[in-house]
A and B are shown apart, each in its own frame.
Chain A
Amino acid sequence: MQIKSLEELIKIKEKSYKSVYLRQHHNNDSDEIETRNATEDEISKNIIVCGGTGCLATDSAKLIKNLELILKARGYDHKVKVIRTGCFGFCEQGPIVKIDPDNIFYVKVHPQDAKEIIDEHIIKGKKIERLLYIEPVEGKKIEQHDDMPFYKKQMRIALRNCGLINPEDIYEYIAFKGYEALGRSLTTMSPEEVIEVITKSGLRGRGGGGFPTGLKWQYTRASEGTTKYIICNGDEGDPGAFMDRSILEGDPHTILESMAIAGYAIGAQRGFVYIRAEYPLAIERLNIAIKQAREVGLLGKNLFGTDFHFDIELKYGAGAFVCGEETALIHSMEGKRGEPHYKPPYPAQKGYRGKATCVNNVETFANITSIILNGHEWFSSIGTEKSKGTKVFALAGKINNVGLVEVPMGTTLREIIYEIGGGIQNHAKFKAVQTGGPSGGVITEKNLDTPIDYESLSAIGSMMGSGGMIVMDEHNCMVNISKFYLEFITDESCGRCTPCRVGTKRMYELLNKISSGEGTLEDLDALKQLCHMIKGSSLCGLGQTAPNPVLSTMHYFWDEYLSHVKDKYCPTGECKNLSKYSINPDKCVGCTACARVCPVDCISGEPKKTFIIDESICIKCGACFDACKFNAVIKP
């Protein structure tokens, strides 16, 4: 059936609500959907299983199948429904299973656990203790997700539906007020009013630049021409960031709905989602969502009975980081090499096929519907003075709770790393956290109490970027990490302008020289100079920001660079040429473990006596270090 008015949508919402009333959702000020218990003849339990990429990799698909088979075998398939949702965010603990309305949260669930979940929990009503999450600090078991430190400090706006609804069912989205914001915009607001709400909310672009979204819409609306386009930037190039992907996989309809709202606001009738070919699941879910939205008339002609038409197509990327840059992205969509061009003209003036085009990031779009429904006052009450709302971060690296977290702007890094993230893995010492990916920089202990927003991160030499947050511990070498980013950049530089194409290569060579022990003090100077030159003279953001990781590691870890160059010594042992392995005679018990694993047989000694390493043969593989149970191998 086709939905032709707001009233019809509300009716369908009320009907659809029957399938989701059991679900306990994330605490979020804006939600006012009541949950209740089932009556006799209704489904009485939902088993919610994460179907995000992380959990699928740990076999959640098989788990779902097992659950369904066993439910059927026990004759419970009419009372209990298994629902596959998008990412819960707590990837470290996956696969995740939540049972509603009991609000019990199970972690690291295996496909073999399906039987116990049904026989014990569903049928007998007994919690399964061994699948509960154990909080690492005090070792307490926690049953409900809102009690977990990981979720407690989070506030979910962009991720509100991830882990709550089945992304392949438009009615579940509608049940949680889906498409209501579009309906209200089209039937009760003028395009200018929509833009005004977004402008007043203070929402800024989440793709990295932080440009005010309302202003961008206004500029695109004001551009000449009657054909305009909306593009959703789903290229997500920062290696180590996966929030856009999770949103597209977990809540594709919110992106479609918000793009339609943006289309109405700027006067566009067509939208495109530019998405990486490396994200097959997100592509599949988007395709399903588009098809469903067309079927019920929420995409296509005369939406909500008005004279506004809007439709959306997918365009695939093909693996090029620079295509995340908006002008490059547009070239790529036109079937060309994805090289950026000089701005102006901005896409808002002259974009896809020469027409005014508004490019926004996935997460930016994911905020739109809530702002329209709850008002700009609500949104702008969250966050800091200049950065409103929340930001999603992909917390990864040497941290206990790897996953996706959404926090109000102004939360400190310390809260994110230690409270939500649960601290550093294996009790190691925190060294630095990299934000902003290859365009950003490192932040050290000293600045961990900085409240996060666009300005404060720039002030300490990093940037917000798309939200990747890579935590590094004492075993990570800062020269090595700079080298890693530069290698990435040399691979990804499109080659259009010389400072970036040649300059970053020279930088990489210098870093390589330093990490292999051949660097000189002059090299450090040259490296710095190159950084400033490339920053100042590159054409696009990729080149302009490429030196940031080097500059910031040099700023905060200058001693480490010096030690590589002057003492020919890598304090972490990550740079192989500069590490020395030796055996501490006080600790060595002569267990022979190291000698047995050494691939080049350069460790000698007699059992129960002290062993020694012949440094001239050692290839610095580190195997002995890992093998020794008595911490007798000294690295470096």
Chain B
Amino acid sequence: MPKANFQVEIPNTENLPKEKFNELKQYIDGLKSTEGALIQILHQAQEIFGYLPKEVQLFVARALGMPGSEVCGVVSFYSYFTTEPVGKHVISVCMGTACFVRGADKIVDRIAKKIGIGPEETTKDGFFTLKNIRCIGACGLAPVVMVDDKVYGRVKEEDIDDILDSYRKEEA
């Protein structure tokens, strides 16, 4: 593939400001070669925007000179990429085997009930996103819940209220 050389129109909306697109463009321009770099670029784009909406996918497609469908095909294939904006805090419940065997399903139910949303959803106020994830490699502490980067181990159903309330309180 020749080095990208396309005229790319940069969208500019409140959620997707121009500066972020410029940042992404700079990253892409800085790569030695864009061949086979799509996944790497999408990682960076998700880092910048927090998610990969259609506009961003198209932008990447244009910049690399490939069909939007191809980019979309890759984004939808990998569970790490998300096309919806996520909440301020992401609650990830490990659904790996070790956690499952120690009752992770009950923990998810409890959280879902408390914040009133299901897995892969975000609360209306955009505060929490709930996610089921696969093993994070802390099986020794099963069941494991992560809020953003903080890992909570050996979580019991009763602990959920305290953990989640602490984020609400911090806010207030």
Contacts and interface: CB of A to CB of B under 8 A. Distances in A.
Question: A and B bound?
Answer: yes
A58 B97 contact: no
B140 A318 contact: no
Q: Chain B contact residues (Cβ within 8 angstroms of A): what range?
A: 35 or more
Interface in A278-311: 278-279
Given A58-B141, A319-B80, A335 B40 contact: yes
Interface string B134-168: 11111111101000000111000000000000000
Nearest to B75: A318
Q: Chain A contact residues (Cβ within 8 angstroms of B): what range?
A: 35 or more
Given A336-B74, A470-B97, A277 B134 contact: no
Contacts of B39: 315-316, 318, 332, 335
A295 to B, nearest CB: 21
A53 B138 contact: yes
A437 B137 contact: no
Nearest to B79: A319
Interface in A207-258: 236-242, 245-246
Interface string B73-88: 1100111110000000
A318 B139 contact: no
Given A57-B141, A58-B141, A242 B80 contact: no
Contacts of B144: 57
Contacts of A601: none
A402 B139 contact: yes
Interface string B11-43: 000000000000000000000000111111011
B77 A468 contact: no
Given A58-B153, A333-B36, A398-B102, A53 B80 contact: no
Contact of A242 (B77, B78, B135, B151): B135
Contacts of B96: 239-240
A406 to B, nearest CB: 15
A434 B138 contact: no
B91 interface: no
B117 interface: no
B152 to A, nearest CB: 8
Contact of A338 (B37, B77, B139): B77
B98 A397 contact: yes
A91 B137 CA distance: 11
Interface in A436-488: 437, 468, 470-472, 476, 481, 484-485, 488
A519 interface: no
Contacts of B137: 53-54, 236, 242, 245-246, 278-279
A56 B78 CA distance: 27
A356 B101 CA distance: 41
A282 B158 CA distance: 32
Interface of B: 35-40, 42-43, 73-74, 77-81, 95-98, 100-102, 133-142, 144, 151-153
22 contacts: A54-B140, A58-B141, A58-B153, A91-B140, A92-B140, A239-B96, A239-B134, A242-B137, A277-B43, A278-B80, A316-B43, A317-B78, A318-B43, A320-B77, A334-B36, A335-B39, A336-B74, A353-B36, A394-B139, A437-B97, A470-B101, A491-B79
Given A337-B73, A402-B140, A402-B142, 16 more contacts: A92-B140, A239-B96, A239-B97, A242-B135, A242-B138, A278-B80, A278-B137, A316-B39, A316-B43, A318-B42, A318-B79, A319-B78, A319-B134, A394-B139, A397-B98, A397-B142
